[in-house]
């Protein structure tokens, strides 16, 4: 069950919409102004780029001292 991020073209509000099924059609309405002129944002989620990136990320989270 994905959560999509949208941006309202009328007022600029960025909001999330929980979708029960990817195949289900649904109406997206801005929670701020009620506009239906909303577009899905392309969002990234937390991943690492490989062994170097994951070791760098892990070391930056380690306690220092």
The arithmetic mean of pLDDT across residues 27-56, rounded, is: 77
CA 16 to chain centre: 7
Full-prediction pTM beyond 0.85? no
Contacts of 26 (CB under 8 A, 6+ apart): 17, 19
Contacts of 43 (CB under 8 A, 6+ apart): 5
CA-nearest of 40, 49, 47 to 22 is 40
Q: How confident is the model at residue 27 (pLDDT cuts 50, 70, 90)?
A: confident
The rounded percent of the chain whose pLDDT value lies above 70 is: 57
Give the Cα-Cα-Cα angle 26, 40, 54 (nearest 5 degrees): 120
Q: How confident is the model at residue 36 (pLDDT cuts 50, 70, 90)?
A: very high
* Number of folded domains that form the chain: 1
Q: At which residue do the structure tokens 């380690």 appear?
A: 62
Q: Which domain holds residue 6?
A: 1-43
CATH code of the domain covering residue 17? 2.20.28
26 occurs within a structural domain: yes
């Amino acid at each position: 069950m994905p959560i999509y991020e949208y941006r309202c073209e009328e007022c600029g509000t960025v909001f999330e919409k929980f979708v029960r099924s990817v195949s289900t059609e649904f109406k997206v309405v801005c929670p701020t102004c009620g506009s239906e002129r909303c577009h899905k944002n392309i969002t990234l989620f937390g991943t690492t780029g490989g062994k170097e990136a994951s070791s760098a990320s892990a070391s930056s989270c380690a306690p220092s001292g």
